[in-house]
Amino acid sequence: MIEGGGASTAGVLRREAAIVPWNELTEEQKQAGRQTHRLLVAMAESDEKVDEPRPAFLPRLDRARRSRVLLIDGGRGSGKTALLVTVLEHWRRPFTDDRDGCRDGCRDGRPPPDTRPDGVDGLDDCRRRIVPIGLLDLHPLARSTNLLMHVVGRFGRVVEALEDRGDKEAEPPAWHLASEATVKSRKRWKALIRAVAAAWDDGADDRRARMDLEAYTVELEEAERQRLDLVTAFTDFIETLVAEFAKRQGPAAKGPPLFLLAVDDADMNPSRSVELLDMLRMLWHPRVAFLLTGDSELFEQTLSEHFLGEMRKPLRGQVMLEREIAVIAGKRRATALASDVYEKVIPAGHRCAVPRIPPALRLSYASVDLAGVFHEVHAEEKPGPTLDSYFSTVPQLLDALPDRLRGQIDLADVSRLVLSARDAPPARAASRVVEGIWRHALSMSSAQIEGIYDHTVHADTATGALRMSLGQSVAGIWASDLRAVARTPERQVGPQVVLSVIDRLEGVMGNGDYLPRELTAALMLAADVAADQTHGSWNTRDTSQQGYEGLFAKSLYQAVGVTTSLRFAWPVPQGFSVPFYAAFSSRWTRKLLSMSKRKAPWEATDEQLDELARHFLHLVVYLWGESRALRIEARAPDWAKIARLVVDLSAQGTVAWRSWAFTRAGLLAAPEYGLPASSANAWLHELREAAGPRWATFKEVLIDERRRRVEATGELRVDRTCRDIDDTFDEHAWRSVVEADDAALERPRRL
């Protein structure tokens, strides 16, 4: 929060990574933090020594050499940097307390945050042994920066600190060329800097043309000697620095220091990441530790591409086929090499992972609590559904929420910001939040799909309602983990109705690949919210895939003396857009679970089946774009109202909607669809009354559609099957009302 600013001003400012009290970290951050602290304590308490070969030309062979590189491992926005600075603050605190003269007190009247991790032994013994000496950020580093000099330069600041504290040798005479006051490590530091400068001098070849051969030879010889001495110079410098720092610390430190250098976003500058990893292997010393933040996947990808490029350099200019090149320098070899190198630099046990937030926790994660924020966001006007209710009804929608801490915080901030706009249209707040969820899901998936872009889900500028424009990108959906939740009581003969809940829907692209899960969930959420908004709309291509009807409800008809069943699906529109099926599935699932009390399986009574059939038909009409004035009530309307809605739709809707209302909705009255005779006859009666003079046309198309569906089951004797069904269920009025001729319609019907 900015000092002097109001709460409303602070609320809209983005929160960046900062020191976080330990008890405010997420459980994932705490787990990674404990592992980081334990490894640092183990490094500080280690008694490993560097080899000192004599004579000096012998190779340095360390008897024990364990890695001193740690990684806080996680994706963008997972809270790595906040954890990093919290860890650094814990080990920095003893030195800042001494400087400020308040060992356990406070500064500026405010107590420092409590960064002490729980469940880690050895912290007190290492409080002054682990010495943070710098925090580097590779992301903004310029290409021309000497990275090695940039890294070792932080050790030079320790030398300066020793000099400033008065640990100096006797002052040399004023006329002495080296008149500065020095500590012993200053001399070693200068030798190290010379070696670094020589090792990184890429301009020698450019100077060759301007130098005589003898001068160039001398320069080249000196440069190579310095390169060979780089590791030795670093080791000698650190040995001296450790001794002098330990002397300054005194016995209170309980041992030699471990200098800790942190590098944030070590993976965000791919052109320097490979260089950094090479450097960490070279700058090894038992009293030096490196703590990085980054993403292992990105590190390995960068290394793989680097090695692939290096392996293919000798092949440039060669006339070779791609498959021949792949044999010599293929992606698989480069990937294997990258994995081996990465494991050597940062062992798996040294990667302290901050994992993605699992979907089940995303709605109420840590102190962000999106559920509480979303509870204030209504789909349109109060007392309509709140945004959190969609996630509780369809858990799959949780896939669309941010899986990292930063995304969660940003989404919560955006939600609060749009809620503060008091003069906006009622639907605007929900639309803006869903739009933000969609854009974040798109960035999470990094999907490059034709027709999928930021504007696919957006808020209308005039009404504030959601609009979806999928174009040609998503061809259909695929249902998985179908779960039957209700059946009618077993009968010896006749239709057995099965009502089903879909656990997951997967978007299917035109090429047959599945849409990333987060995008499918975001589309489902947008479809749900748009369906509850008066002006919400879907501008999408109708899918060509068939067979969606049986996903929600079907009847299994078994004739007398036959062991196999015929499958008749309750009619939802075919060939409709993905948002329709997503919204239908959500509301159908909600209805089933409310009636079953979330118990599966359960037997549906005749009254419940009647209610579900009316809800089924009403739900289709509700999702029609021009009928958003309708509302899904606790109980579905009666058959008379549904009949009027269906007949109106048959005259007003687009071709696809009219086709369903005109040729398919009435099929539920046929005996093979499993409704009780009372419900089927009531539906048929009200449909005939609402159709009026158009009933003759309705009747003809229903007869044709019924026979087409019987034929689709594989039955060859279509008319015979229809007659058998009608004979078996003579209490149904279908034969007398639909199959009979017009004269027969005047005879009394059995309802």
Neighbours of 448 (CB within 10 A): 7
The CA distance from 198 to 190, in Å, is 12
pLDDT at 322 over 70: no
Alpha carbon separation from 661 to 381, 690, 739 (Å, rounded): 30, 12, 19
Nearest to 161 by CA among 189, 139, 126, 197: 189
What does the pLDDT read at residue 197? 80
Which tens digit of pLDDT belongs to each residue from 263-297?
998 888 887 888 899 889 889 999 999 999 999 99
pLDDT at 102 over 80: no
Q: Can you tell me the mean pLDDT for 217-232?
A: 65
- What sign does the dihedral 359-364-368-370 (CA atoms) show? positive
- Any idea what DSSP says for residue 477? E
- Any idea what DSSP says for residue 140? T
Q: Under 8 Å CB-to-CB from 463, ≥6 apart: which residues?
A: 425, 427, 534, 535
Percentage of the chain beyond pLDDT 70 is: 80
What does the pLDDT read at residue 249? 85
At 316, the pLDDT band (50, 70, 90 cuts) reads low
Neighbours of 272 (CB within 10 A): 21
What does the pLDDT read at residue 573? 85
Which tens digit of pLDDT belongs to each residue from 232-253?
889 999 999 999 999 988 887 7
Instruction: Say if residue 347 is preceded by a cis peptide, omega within 30 of 0.
Output: no
The CA distance from 163 to 177, in Å, is 19
Flag whether the pTM goes above 0.75: yes
Packing angle between helix 428-445 and helix 405-419, nearest 10 degrees? 160
What does the pLDDT read at residue 64? 77
Tokens of 414: 């955006």
Tokens of 347: 């062992």
Beta bridge partners of 603: 487
The label of the residue with tokens 């996680």 reads 74
SS3 410: helix
Alpha carbon separation from 393 to 91, 236, 396, 401, 413 (Å, rounded): 46, 65, 9, 15, 24
pLDDT at 205 over 50: yes
Q: Under 8 Å CB-to-CB from 740, ≥6 apart: which residues?
A: 747
Amino acid occupying residue 306? H
Q: Can you tell me the mean pLDDT for 389-418?
A: 91
Nearest to 256 by CA among 288, 224, 234, 280: 288
pLDDT at 190 over 70: yes
The label of the residue with tokens 């320790």 reads 158
Least confident of 409-418, 450-459, 718-727: 450-459
Q: Can you tell me the mean pLDDT for 47-73?
A: 82
The residue ranking higher by pLDDT, 239 or 323, is 239
Mean pLDDT of the chain, nearest integer: 82
The CA distance from 191 to 169, in Å, is 18
Which tens digit of pLDDT belongs to each residue from 524-574?
999 999 988 988 888 766 665 556 778 899 998 877 666 678 889 999 887
SS3 597: coil
pLDDT at 256 over 50: yes
What does the pLDDT read at residue 8? 43
pLDDT at 173 over 60: no
Is 603:487 a contact under the CB 8 Å cutoff?
yes
Q: Under 8 Å CB-to-CB from 251, ≥6 apart: which residues?
A: none
CA atoms within 13 A on the CB side of 406: 18
Which tens digit of pLDDT belongs to each residue from 594-619?
888 777 788 888 999 999 999 999 99
What does the pLDDT read at residue 632? 72
What does the pLDDT read at residue 748? 44
Residues of the chain by 3-state class (helix, strand, coil), percent to 5: 50, 10, 35
Tokens of 554: 């079907």
What does the pLDDT read at residue 19? 87
Phi, psi for residue 110 in degrees, rounded to 5: -120, 135
Nearest to 347 by CA among 741, 702, 644, 73: 73
- What sign does the dihedral 292-293-297-299 (CA atoms) show? negative
The residue ranking higher by pLDDT, 269 or 342, is 342
The CA distance from 209 to 479, in Å, is 71
Query: What string of DSSP letters covers 270-304?
Result: HHHHHHHHHHHHHS--TTEEEEEEE-HHHHHHHHH
Amino acid occupying residue 451? G
What does the pLDDT read at residue 521? 94
The residue ranking higher by pLDDT, 669 or 232, is 669
Which tens digit of pLDDT belongs to each residue from 431-444?
999 999 999 998 88
What does the pLDDT read at residue 396? 93
- What sign does the dihedral 123-129-133-139 (CA atoms) show? negative
Which tens digit of pLDDT belongs to each residue from 381-392?
877 789 999 998
The CA distance from 210 to 212, in Å, is 7
Percentage of the chain beyond pLDDT 90 is: 36
What does the pLDDT read at residue 744? 44
At 424, the pLDDT band (50, 70, 90 cuts) reads confident
Sheet holding 466-471, edge to edge: 457-459, 466-471, 537-540
The CA distance from 361 to 398, in Å, is 9
Is 255:243 a contact under the CB 8 Å cutoff?
no
What does the pLDDT read at residue 614? 95
